[in-house]
A and B are shown apart, each in its own frame.
Chain A
Amino acid sequence: MEKNVIIRLENVTKSFEDQVVLKNLTLDVEKNEFLTLLGPSGCGKTTTLRLIGGFEKPDEGIIWHQGKDISNVPPYKRNINTVFQKYALFPHLNVFENIAFGLKIKKMSKSLIKEKVEKALKQVNLDGYGNRSIEQLSGGQQQRVAIARAIVNEPEILLLDEPLGALDLKLRQEMQYELKTLQKELGITFVYVTHDQEEALTMSDTVVVMNNGVIQQKGTPEDIYNEPVNAFVADFIGESNIIDGIMRQDGVIEILGRVYECVDKGFGTNEKVDVVVRPEDIKLLEPSENKLNGQVTSCIFKGVHYETCVVTEGFEWVIHNTKNFKPGEQVSINVDPFDIHIMKKMVEEAGT
């Protein structure tokens, strides 16, 4: 195993009551990276996280932790800690006691525990909250206690299961920033699970997009956003227009009968493909002969931009721009060749 890989799931398969959730999954997590598992409900991301944490055992395959097989090692023996989705704080203990729980199990001295707990409280900006009871805390504060409780044990890896789901937007954005900073401060590996693609793009070093138990794409946020490998990823990340096309030859794509220049190569001649164009990459100009022409059906003000819908020959395009178009206006679809992304057509997945 490579020196830099801290966790490796190798050919892992997991089922629950006849339902296959993960099939032959292989994934490497590198040391000290912020890796996010992203996907819709039921895609297997939480199961993957729980396998790393030790709350589930793989039916097939191995889980490696720096060269050691930990597939059958229970959670209390792994140097990994988890921040649970609904915090799972112990209601009968106060903030200090919650955070100290893991340290008490390790039978540390009282003074050492006090020192570490107070340090952890500072790290999550809850200095002085030790005496509070859990019911008195707000959602955001409970969240921080959950994080403190986990990191005070100095784990090698921190697992986070959709921790920000229950918070309101502003708080969520604040916490995203704080978590990212915390990870850099602690210098440990974070494995994060979410269904919110914006969150994933904001915080991660690496994003792993999953669907139906299969990894669709793994890469940096920029890679995933700019070069989605298939329609699922393109659709899941950001907004996009996905339309059928025929690749006439390298650099030439035919969409709904019109020919556009693009920069992708390596597809077969006249191959049927999926074409992805981001809403912010489309320019609406006067109708023109060799472009797709259509009619504006709606234009809604969204604050940051206008969301304009244009229908051309049965396909509805979504465009983000700063111009206010009137429904009924005739326009043409214009895209820079660099912004047209071609993807191979998706094959049906096993277990779909």
Chain B
Amino acid sequence: MVRRGLEKLYLGIIMLFLYAPILTLIVFSFNDSKSRAKWGGFTLKWYKTMLNDPMISKALYYTLSIALLASVIATIIGTLAAIGIHVMKKKTKSVILNVTYLPVLNPDIVTGISFMLFFVAIGLKLGFASMLIAHITFNIPYVILSILPKLSSLNKFTYEAALDLGAHPMEAIRKVIIPEIMPNIITGFLLAFTLSLDDFVISYFTTGSGVTNLSITIYTMTRRGIKPEINAISTVLFVSVLILLLIINKRSERHTKKLGGVNL
């Protein structure tokens, strides 16, 4: 049918639009010439350069450590927060949620600037600590956002049932609520981790003293001009993200099948 053909064509065009730039980067990361257009033979030398570049290793180290630390801390604070916020009165809840989502809704440049002004005002030198604090702060809302809806859909009496059966409040939370929301806690954690890995603007304004992350390094490199190592970095990042997403997808599929229901 003509209709189907047109639809497939449209899908194809958009797919081309979305992937052409990325694929070009990947292909040319193996190009044995600095040209962005002419093929000069297959090589892995840009990957070698990338791996040997101290700037890149440093950036990678900071990116991973900040992302890991920030997402773990944000998950802990955020989970406790979600459980607490869930039982608050409507008015209080509403106010707190509105403030919580400010970093999400605000343009990141404004959030980044607000952090910078704050750190300078309290005399904290910009560096690892400031960047970490900033990351934790913008991660927490996403953790809360992942968990809160699930808390609403839980049977509100399972917590009371646990108390009824003799469990103290902390015991009840540990044994009943946490297991039920665990999938959401993990999703929140992964979401926070991914956001931290990828962050640029907020990190840009809250770091200093030689602390950097991958995105900032790439930005500085691209401002200086096109370099083939960037292609190599792109390929590595692209493949990593692909694998990460596939894992997340498989987890959520398996989990959905287990519950016998539809997700999304």
Q: Is the CB of B164 within 8 A of A76?
A: yes
Query: Of all chain B residues, which has the CB nearest A102?
Result: B165
- Is B106 close to A, CB under 8 A? no
Bound-state CA distance A106–B171 (Å) is 12
Smallest CB separation, A51 vs chain B (Å): 13
Which parts of A36-80 form the interface with B (CB within 8 Å)? 53-55, 74-76, 80
Bound-state CA distance A92–B260 (Å) is 14
Cβ–Cβ < 8 Å partners of A75 in chain B: 160, 163-164
Query: Of all chain A residues, which has the CB nearest B157?
Result: A88
B236-264 near A? 1/0 per residue, CB < 8 Å: 00000000000000000000000110000
Q: Is the CB of A105 within 8 A of B164?
A: no
A91: which of B157, B163, B180 is its contact (CB, 8 Å)? Answer: B180
Cβ–Cβ < 8 Å partners of B152 in chain A: none
A75-115 near B? 1/0 per residue, CB < 8 Å: 11000111011101111100000000110011000000000
Q: Is the CB of B164 within 8 A of A53?
A: yes
- Is B113 close to A, CB under 8 A? no
- Is B21 close to A, CB under 8 A? no
- Is A135 close to B, CB under 8 A? yes
Cβ–Cβ < 8 Å partners of B163 in chain A: 54-55, 74-76
Q: Which interface class (under 10, 10 to 19, 20 to 34, 35 or more) fits B?
A: 20 to 34
- Is B35 close to A, CB under 8 A? no
Cβ–Cβ < 8 Å partners of A88 in chain B: 155, 157-158, 160-161
Q: Is the CB of A105 within 8 A of B180?
A: no
- A92 in contact with B160 given A81-B165, A101-B165, A106-B166 (CB within 8 Å): no
Query: Of all chain A residues, which has the CB nearest B159?
Result: A88
Bound-state CA distance A162–B47 (Å) is 68
Bound-state CA distance A88–B260 (Å) is 20
State the 4 A-B residue pairs at the shortest beta-carbon distance, nearest first: A102-B165, A88-B157, A88-B161, A105-B166
Which residues in B have some Cβ–Cβ distance to A below 8 Å?
155, 157-158, 160-168, 171-172, 175-176, 179-180, 259-260
16 interchain pairs, CB-CB under 8 A: A53-B164, A55-B160, A75-B160, A76-B165, A81-B164, A82-B160, A82-B164, A88-B157, A90-B162, A92-B179, A101-B167, A105-B165, A105-B166, A105-B167, A135-B260, A153-B165
